[in-house]
Amino acid sequence: MSALLEVNGLTKRFGGLAVVEDVSFSLAQGGRLALIGPNGAGKTTVFNLLCGVYPVTAGSVRFDGADITAMASRRRIGVGLARSFQNIRLMPHLSVAENVMLGQQARASGVLALLSPLRGSRWRREADARLAAFGLADVRDRLVADLPYGIRKKIEIVRAMMAAPRVLLLDEPAAGLNSRETA
Ligand SMILES: Nc1ncnc2c1ncn2[C@@H]1O[C@H](COP(=O)(O)OP(=O)(O)OP(=O)(O)O)[C@@H](O)[C@H]1O
Ligand SMILES: [Mg+2]
């Protein structure tokens, strides 16, 4: 079976500092991979390279057979590559449901689609279903700013799921969580 995500010789230097050096791996459809290393090893940088936040110094990234090494980061989510962030990036003054609905932007034609009543209700139903699946139905109308860290970490994952990704990149999804939250 051919790989869904294939990374070859991925290298990133910041000035003279080699942060990621010759990293290669491939991920099959339905597979799971973990990237393990001490603080500063370059894990988040690998994610940023996969998402196109930084241009690569060398190497290639292929997604479902296509070379996406130079693809703009905003387009990568549209082809099916979604992520969560090590440092939570939610809109603190929007509700949980609103934050989660923002995750489907890659599938709808931009933020304006959210405002269309028909489309809006479809995304709202999907957001509600995904929140319920994560045990978050009871916080759907709360402001993110008022919620504890463990719940905000989960909301980031639900938001990434709203993009209907084929590959989901989770950057330290369990950092700072207790064992119950991690499970
Ligand atoms: N934009 C940047 N410019 C210069 N150096 C950077 C940049 N981003 C990361 N680095 C450096 O690259 C190295 C790897 O950082 P990175 O955040 O990828 O590590 P990490 O494995 O995710 O660490 P942690 O476990 O702390 O999250 C660090 O030395 C960091 O200071
Ligand atoms: Mg990191």
**Residue 183 belongs to a domain:** no
Give the DSSP H/E element, type plus range, for residue 24.
strand 17-27
Cα(41) to ligand 1 centroid in Å equals 7
Residues 15 and 63 in one domain: yes
**In which domain, by residue range, is 143 found?**
96-161
Is residue 120 in some structural domain? yes
Mutation probe of ligand 1 site: the residue of 19, 23, 36, 56 with most atoms within 8 A of C-beta: 19
- Do 19 and 62 lie in a common domain? yes
- What is the tally of structural domains in the chain? 2
Q: What is the pLDDT of residue 28?
A: 96
On whether both 105 and 65 belong to a single domain, the answer is no
Which protein residue's CA is at the shortest distance from atom 2 of ligand 1? 14
Structural domain includes residue 174: no
**24 belongs to a structural domain:** yes
81 inside domain: no
**What distance in Å separates the CA atoms of residue 60 and residue 58, rounded to the nearest whole number?**
7
CA 67 to ligand 1 center in whole angstroms: 25
Residues with CB under 6 Å of ligand 1 are 14, 19, 37, 39-45, 86
pLDDT score at 157: 93
Specify the CATH number for the domain of residue 35.
3.40.50.300
In a domain? residue 64? yes
- Which burial class, exposed, middle or buried, applies to 44 when counting CB atoms under 10 A from its CB (0-12, 13-18, 19+)? middle
**Same structural domain for residues 12 and 67?**
yes
Give the pLDDT of the chain (183 residues) as one tens digit per residue. 579 999 999 999 999 899 999 999 999 999 999 999 999 999 999 999 999 999 999 999 999 999 999 999 888 988 899 988 888 889 999 999 999 998 887 676 655 655 665 566 888 899 999 999 999 999 999 999 999 999 999 999 999 999 889 999 999 999 889 998 888
**Contacts within 8 Å (CB) and 24+ apart, 74-78:** 76/50, 76/51, 76/52, 77/105, 77/106, 77/163, 77/165, 78/106, 78/107
Q: For ligand 1, atom 13, name the residue with the nearest CA.
A: 40
Closest ligand to residue 49's CA: 1
3-class DSSP state of 46: helix
| Res 114: pLDDT | 57
Residues 61 and 106 in one domain: no
What pTM, to 2 d.p., does this model score? 0.88
Whether residue 86 lies inside any domain: the answer is no
Give 133 Cα–ligand 1 centroid separation in angstroms. 33
Q: Are residues 157 and 100 in the same domain?
A: yes
On whether both 66 and 100 belong to a single domain, the answer is no
> 12 and 60: one domain?
yes
**Whole-number pLDDT of residue 123:** 85
The rounded Cα 66 to chain-centroid distance in angstroms is: 20
